[in-house]
Amino acid sequence: MVSEEDLQNMSPEEIAELQRKQCIFCKIIKGEIPSKKVFEDDKIIAILDINPAAKGHTLIMTKEHYPILPVIPLDVAAHMFRTTKYLVKSLKEAMVTNSATVFIANGAIAGQQSPHFLYHLIPREPDDGLDKFMIPANEFKEEEVKQHLSALKGKLGLMMREYKAKKGKEGEVKQAKPISQQDLAKFIDANPQVREAIINHPEEFKKQLEANPELKHMFVGINIDKLSMALKQIKK
Ligand SMILES: [Zn+2]
């Protein structure tokens, strides 16, 4: 056991190492404690919660020990959310439900109970007896709301700009190899809704590209207007 006095004499690194050693989730990840694994890859693991709130209640966590969200490296955090997206998508096949509550508590005050940052994925069914997690409205005066906004916009906005400037490189979407025209043609063939969007709503489609880096990457260097006309011709 580590005494209060030992803790006082420890460096932050040593305390982090100790937390890691005592972390029950790290022990589960290492296989020292048995668990029911739903999914696993090199960065992420998803296991059934031992105290499930609903059928299929799953915990999604990084294999590396990170105590809170802000310290998770960007690529790992992105991968974690991407995995969550696919798990939610797969629920439709596995449990015939499209609905899921994804619950994230960051920090003790927010209700984070585990020392290892994680998401809860709770598949939802009609009348499952669980809360809809409706967030109750608190009463604030207009003046107070203005103060909150200026604090967030000022400090948070400034911090985000500084952070992005510092971490610029890390924040960029990693560029994969550009895909070939052939593969792009196959992709369009396989996705009729994309084809229709390009043909009928090229302007809307360009906006979609801006909002979706993966899609944008596929269409890099492609003139959407020309593509739209070409596809229209083929359609005829
Ligand atoms: Zn851990």
Residue-by-residue pLDDT tens, the chain, 236 positions: 667 788 788 887 887 788 888 899 999 999 999 999 999 999 999 999 999 999 899 999 999 999 999 889 999 999 999 999 999 988 888 877 888 999 999 998 998 999 899 999 999 988 888 888 778 888 999 999 998 888 887 777 777 777 777 766 554 544 456 677 777 887 788 777 788 888 888 888 888 888 777 777 778 888 888 888 888 888 76
Whole-number Å distance, alpha carbon 171 to ligand 1 midpoint, is: 25
CATH second-level architecture of 4-123? 2-Layer Sandwich (3.30)
Distance (Å, whole) CA 38 – CA 93: 14
pLDDT of residue 173: 47
Question: pTM value?
Answer: 0.63
Whole-number Å distance, alpha carbon 16 to ligand 1 midpoint, is: 10
Whole-number Å distance, alpha carbon 48 to ligand 1 midpoint, is: 16
Whole-number Å distance, alpha carbon 64 to ligand 1 midpoint, is: 7
pLDDT of residue 106: 92
Whole-number Å distance, alpha carbon 61 to ligand 1 midpoint, is: 9
Distance (Å, whole) CA 179 – CA 207: 20
| CA distances, 221 to each of 45, 136, 184, 225 (Å) | 37, 47, 12, 12
Whole-number Å distance, alpha carbon 21 to ligand 1 midpoint, is: 8
pLDDT of residue 196: 84
Which pair of structure tokens corresponds to residue 198? 């390009």
Strand partners, 62: 44
Could you tell me the residue ranges of all domains in the chain? 4-123, 137-169, 181-235
pLDDT of residue 177: 61
At residue 58, φ and ψ (nearest 5 deg) are -120, 145
pLDDT of residue 168: 60
Distance (Å, whole) CA 94 – CA 108: 33
Q: CA torsion 116→119→124→129, rounded to 10°? A: 50
Which pair of structure tokens corresponds to residue 200? 């009928």
pLDDT of residue 102: 93
Whole-number Å distance, alpha carbon 44 to ligand 1 midpoint, is: 12
